[in-house]
Amino acid sequence: MSNRKSKIIEKIKLFWKNYEKQIVLFAGIILVAIFSFEVGFLEGKKIENNDTLVIEKAAEQKECVCNNAQTESLINSTNQNVAQGKTGDEKECVYVGSKNSNKYHIPTCQFAKRIKPENLVCFKSKEDAESKGYTACKCVE
């Protein structure tokens, strides 16, 4: 019986000697995987308990993305058009619209920036725009 145990122990020692590097590497990978899983699990619990995760719709944010240089150029061109009398008697464009649509926008709205100068219509107030049949864009507060 002891002879049989010694043969098994010798086989195990021989196996360990031949495959020691692979066994240690495999054990290390398994330990790192377990550790990573636990860290992720604990971080998930923190977020779950914190209740401060906020998700916003990207489509709503895209509606009125402003670029300051573009905004300034639109306001300047709008005011020039108004000063030249291209859009009527208004001296200031608080809201703008297009002759080809029924929406009015703030001058910084991305849709207002797309209006060609020859189609630009200026409004002094919301009431002014709405009295002429225009409806508010999502950018208008």
- β-strand 95-98 against 120-123: which pairing, if any? antiparallel
Answer whether 128's CB lies under 8 Å from 97's CB: no
pLDDT of 52-111, one tens digit each?
556 665 544 334 444 445 455 555 655 555 444 444 444 478 889 999 988 998 888 888
User: Do 112 and 96 touch, CB atoms closer than 8 A?
Assistant: yes
Confidence tier at 8 by pLDDT (50, 70, 90): very high
- Amino acid at residue number 47: I
The token pair at 31 is 């330990």
Sequence-distant (≥ 6) Cβ neighbours of residue 81 within 8 angstroms: 87, 117, 120, 122
Flag whether pLDDT at 7 surpasses 70. Answer: yes
**Domain ranges within the chain, ordered by starting residue:** 1-54, 60-136
pLDDT digits (tens, 9 = 90+) for 17-59: 999 999 999 999 999 999 999 988 888 777 666 555 566 655 4
* CB contact set of 31 (below 8 Å; sequence gap of 6+): none
What's the pLDDT at 133?
92
Contact 120, 100 (CB under 8 A): no
112-129 pLDDT, tens digit per residue, is 888 888 888 898 888 988
Report the candidate in 34, 15, 14, 35 with the shortest Cα–Cα distance to residue 23.
15
Tell me the two tokens of residue 123.
Answer: 């409004």
Residue 18's pLDDT is what? 93
Q: Residues with Cβ < 8 Å from 103, sequence gap 6 or more?
A: 97, 111, 134, 135, 136, 137
